[in-house]
Structure 1
Amino acid sequence: MAARKSHPTAPPPPPFQLLGMTWLRRLVQICAVAAGGISFWLTLQKLTGKIDSIAGCGGAGGCSQVLGGRWSAWLLVPVSTLSLVFYIGLVVLTLRPMRAKLGAQADFLLASCAVATLLTVCWFSGVLILAEKAFCPFCAAVHALGLVWSVTVLWQWRRHRPASGAGRESGRGNPWLTGAAGVAVLVLGQTLGPKPRTFLLTNTVPSPVKPAPAVHTSVSPPSPAGNPAPVVSPAAPVTAVSAPAAAALQTPADSAVPNPSAPAAAPAAVRAGRDLAFMNGTMYFRSDELPILGSKDAPHIMVEYFDYTCSSCRDMSKDLTAARAQLGDRIAVIVLPCPLNRQCNPALPAQVTDHAGACGLARLSLAVWRKAPDKFEAYHHFLMSLPLPANEPAARARAVQDCGGEAALDQALADPWIEGRINQTVQEYATLCAQQIKMPKLLLHGNVMMHGTARSAVVLTATLRQQFGL
């Protein structure tokens, strides 16, 4: 019997690889390079201080709020830096030497990265919408690029790697579980790990934006009968505390920061509750001539610059109320509304968005203090509780009630002192912004100033205890 003629068998085709698809590999590379480039730029903004984690209003908004907010870091590492490292690794994964070395494992890693990217986009989109309530176009671009490549990769993975064979072919299991585990580490780190610092303490005297008198003249509140009181020329200023002799100190903090320059007991001038001076005596106040929360004779009187339409200022207001409940009459706060609106604040930086209704609420607040100072504190808290955007009709209706009628309120609003006080506050705030633009700002004592809000009332109270030696 003749032997059967054998034919050489063709070698089996190489195993399918997602990254072997040129168009898919190019798509992943383009998206990774673009997203990595944006992440690199955002990281530079963080490292150079152009974007910080100070919680406050008056910044550039958008990306500044998002990248400086509560969810902007993982274990104090900026999320933009994590994104940059991730996309560098993704580009390396698509290169020929790495694909040749990993084989089928490269596909599994690519699919796992796609799952992690998809879930991360969902996580941060929820954070932006529900928590930060802000929009950053650069963050949105990174998310969009991530969606494009991750959805495409997972579609191809599903198409060419059926669920029944995906684990056997890759030898590494389910990429959905692997990717989800990575995102779980991210979420837990952000939720349970250390949080970014949210306020800044400075101990230096800013240079004035424009020449300004060291002492400003105030007007005492009108008598109960409503007759305007005469202008009072204050005496020579007396510093609230001794000015620190050390060089300028700038300390970012999210917890209480010890201040050795703060005395254990305030000088007699502060206990008298009349004369206060800050910033080496260049900023002068009289506690009985300006709106104040608490006793004008409190041993420790702070000065707050805020806006009724600023959400961070509202947080500060709640925290200060809680701190006063803990510390009692030992502290008080002079409150100076500083509207973030160019209608009455022409010095507002160009990148700051106008806050609707800010000027109107500031005028109404000062009018109530002028006409009915005994009702001011309740009215102040009422304005802080109004829903945003500002409801000026509701604010005016309450002011009419507190002042005793429309005519009385209109008379108070016509007082030139109100516009003068707002102009003075705006000028002071512009000077203080040389160190940090965010609002609220709280002058504590001497040259020490707090920018932004603490993470909680507990943190603020602890900070005040240490600053005042209480």
Structure 2
Amino acid sequence: MKAGWLFVACGVAIHALLVFVKSSQGIAGCGSACDEVLSSRWSFVAGVPVPWFGIAAYLLTGVALRWRKPLLLATCLVLLGGAVVWFLVVQAFVLHRFCGWCLTAHVVALATITWGWRELKGMASFTWSLAVVGGVAPIAAVILIQVFGPVAATHRIEAAAPFSTAASQLHAQGGGRKVDFDGGMKRYDVEALPRLGSADAKHVLVEYFDYQCPACRTMHGFLEALRLRHPKDIAVIVLPVPLERSCNRLLGPKDTAHPGSCELSRAALAVWRSAPAAFEEVHRSIFTDPQAGLRLAREKASTTSEDDAWINEMLKVNAEDWIVFSSSTKHLPKLLIRDRRILHGLPSSEADFLRVMQQELGL
């Protein structure tokens, strides 16, 4: 039984660590694989972080060991096995990302199951049948709640600190229509900056993003859906913030880096400079297939160098703004909505995003 207590201790410890790590993630957005998994909608059950359920399962296993309850022990083993299968499916086929800490928890669970199976060898088949029912039922409930139940917020909308520290005026340069945030402390020229939609749109949003950020790719789809639903009312200024040190010196040593993001951002901005009518096609193409999008961008931007001074300055200023707007979180994407209202990270679904935007903009 000593091995059993070791597995219980390891299980409680790894899930307690997951609780701590998850509490530090805050919102869904571009980060490490663990960031994205542990801040996704699938990391909650009815608003409760999943690791707490793992702690409860191992504590029940401890109760079964202490009072020698084979049926309860078998039920806990089935429960742990079902949880491993479900959350591996979510990571592999829904999120397409694997969290190292989560995988460690799965390994501990499988080791516990292997040990428990040997301990319970010879237990009556009827008792095992009861254990399967008792273990599968809560996992089935978890799946139903996660799929059909209330979804926890995975983004944050806040009134940001005053924008006065976003001092560069590059975004305001040009003779076109201006949109102001924070009473004019931050200004954008709608016609001079890379844009999706009409410069005359009623609402102009400003997105800071990275072309290789999975959350930004999803946000691109959400914004497409919003524009499709309100084609005359919505335009989006899109400002790349490459998470790569070769063109973003403000990237910290612990920030997730995306090699190749500088090249993609430069190519897209070169298209805006030389062939703005083709920008939307290129922007969409880069998100769909970065290498194909890069080739298309270079075809369309043959007259503009990717080392153009305007492009270099634009990337520098975009990164500076990213830092200014990151007092609460550095996660991308960031979407300026109005006044000082900023959406940080990624809502849990397209429907959630559309609901939030309709509420914020009165659509």
Do both proteins adopt the same fold according to a TM-score greater than 0.5, normalized to the shorter chain?
A: yes
Paired residues for 1:47-446 under 5 Å: 49-52=23-26, 54-57=27-30, 59=31, 61-95=32-66, 98-99=67-68, 106-157=69-120, 159-163=121-125, 167=127, 174-205=130-161, 213=167, 215-216=169-170, 220=174, 274-386=177-289, 390-391=290-291, 394-403=292-301, 405=302, 408=303, 411-446=304-339
Alignment identity in percent? 31
Deviating 4+ runs (over 4 angstroms): 217-220
Residues 207, 434 of structure 1: 8 Å contact kept:
no
Q: Could you say if the C-alpha distance between residues 282 and 214 of structure 1 is closer, same or farther in structure 2, counting changes exceeding 3 Å? A: farther
- 1:31 Cα shift? 0.7
Cα offset, 1:219, TM superposition: 5.6
1:225 — aligned with what?
A: none
**Deviation for aligned residue 1:173:** 5.4
> CA separation of 1:174/1:396 partners in 2, compared to 1, >3 Å: closer, same or farther?
closer
- Rounded to whole Å, the distance in 1 between the matches of 2:132 and 2:60 is 19
Contact 1:111-1:153 within 8 A present in 2 as well: yes
> What is the identity, as a one-letter code, of the residue corresponding to 2:352?
V
1:227 alignment partner in structure 2: none
Stretch deviating more after TM superposition (303-312 or 180-189) = 180-189
**Gapped regions of structure 1 (runs ≥ 5):** 1-24, 100-105, 221-231, 233-272
Post-superposition shift, 1:91? 1.6
Higher helix share: 2
CA contact (8 A) 1:66 1:136 kept: yes
Alignment partners' CA distance in 2, 1:318 and 1:134:
19
Counterpart CA distance in 1 for 2:319 and 2:285 is: 23
Displacement of 1:115? 1.6
The one-letter code sitting in structure 2 at the alignment partner of 1:44 is F
CA distance in 2, matches of 1:325, 1:206: 32
Aligned counterpart, 1:452:
345
Tell me which residue corresponds to 1:10.
none
Structure 2 CA distance for partners of 1:460 and 1:127, relative to 1, 3 Å = closer
Structure 2 counterpart of 1:270: none
Structure 2 residue runs without a partner (length 5+)? none
Seen in structure 2, the aligned counterparts of structure 1 residues 194 and 151 have a Cα distance that, compared at 3 Å, is same
Measured after TM superposition, the shift of residue 367 of structure 1 is 0.4
Q: Which residue of 2 aligns with 1:238?
A: none
Q: Match of 2:112, SS?
A: helix
CA distance in 2, matches of 1:45, 1:397: 39
Q: Secondary structure at the match of 1:443?
A: strand
Label 1:374 to 1:152 Cα distance change in 2 as closer, same or farther (>3 A): same
User: How many residues align structurally?
Assistant: 363
Aligned-residue Cα RMSD (Å) equals 2.2
1:428-452 alpha-carbon deviations (Å, 9 max, x no partner): 0111111222111110110001112
1:329 aligned counterpart, secondary structure:
coil
Aligned with 2:220: secondary structure? Answer: helix
Residues 151-210 of structure 1: CA distance to partner in whole angstroms, max 9, x if unpaired? 2212332x32253xx54xxxx9532232222322222222222222122111132578xx
Query: What secondary structure sits across from 1:205 in the alignment?
Result: coil
